[in-house]
Amino acid sequence: MITTKALVLFSGGQDSTTCLAWALEMFAHVETVGFSYGQRHAVEMEARPHVLEGLRASFPEWAPKLGMDHVLSLGVLADIGGSALTDNVAIVLGEKGLPTTFVPGRNLLFLTTAAALGLRRDIRALVGGMCETDYSGYPDCRSETIAAVEKSLVLGLDEPINIHTPLMHIDKADTWRLAEKLGGTALVDLIREETVTCYLGERSVAHDWGYGCGACPACILRAAGYARYRGDVA
């Protein structure tokens, strides 16, 4: 179906910022939603307004399309706890080979609450940065999971909800390439300087790929993807 409005699940990280740029190319009106769930790396939430400001300032063709930013509180995830993203738990491989950064139910809740918010805003297209290519094996990032959630939302809300996941089948190097294709080096630079991917929320150490501790799994993926991306543009 042809739809003109989209709601982007926007955390302030590299992936969701690239998704936001993608949505600004694809849709006439784009709103954003972030989730506050007691995450240890609250610095990511702090990055969101800076990224939005940067997009408005550097991309005049996107600025008029970029609408309201929403923040939903999902403190229930911290109440449940047990994850390295919400509790002081070491980032290691846990049961079934899943890292302890996995927050059970997180993407399912994000998509469900985003769809409900979307209906309040007359928006039926959701955009999320889920990716099954190099994403630590999170089961809620698989395209099969997303397709099943979309079906649940269509049935449960009785609305033609669409979930778009432009990063689903690409790796981190291609995510950087996609950013360059969408917004040139200005967008790549904005992502490098303003977005936070690091699980520890480290903002004090600068690398060529941006800020981060450089050692957590998210930093390692981001750095390796950037190195491969730079390798073919150097």
Chain residues that interact with Zn ion, rule: CB under 5 A? 198, 212-213, 216, 219
What's 204's DSSP letter? S
Q: Which is nearer to Zn ion, 13 or 118 (CB)?
A: 13
The CB density around residue 156, as the number of other CB atoms within 10 Å, is 13
- In the complex, minimum distance from the CB of residue 98 to Zn ion, in angstroms, rounded to a whole number: 18
| In the block, residue with structure tokens 């609250």 | 42
Q: Which is nearer to Zn ion, 10 or 211 (CB)?
A: 211
- In the complex, minimum distance from the CB of residue 199 to Zn ion, in angstroms, rounded to a whole number: 5
Instruction: Note whether 146 and 169 are within 8 A (CB).
Output: no
Of the candidates 116, 107, 121, 126, the residue with the CA atom closest to the CA atom of residue 23: 126
- In the complex, minimum distance from the CB of residue 204 to Zn ion, in angstroms, rounded to a whole number: 12
Token pair in block for residue 65: 């399309």
Query: Which amino acid does the sequence have at 162?
Result: N
- In the complex, minimum distance from the CB of residue 52 to Zn ion, in angstroms, rounded to a whole number: 23
104: left (phi over 0), alpha (psi -120 to 50) or beta: beta
Q: Which is nearer to Zn ion, 43 or 168 (CB)?
A: 43
Q: Which is nearer to Zn ion, 85 or 219 (CB)?
A: 219
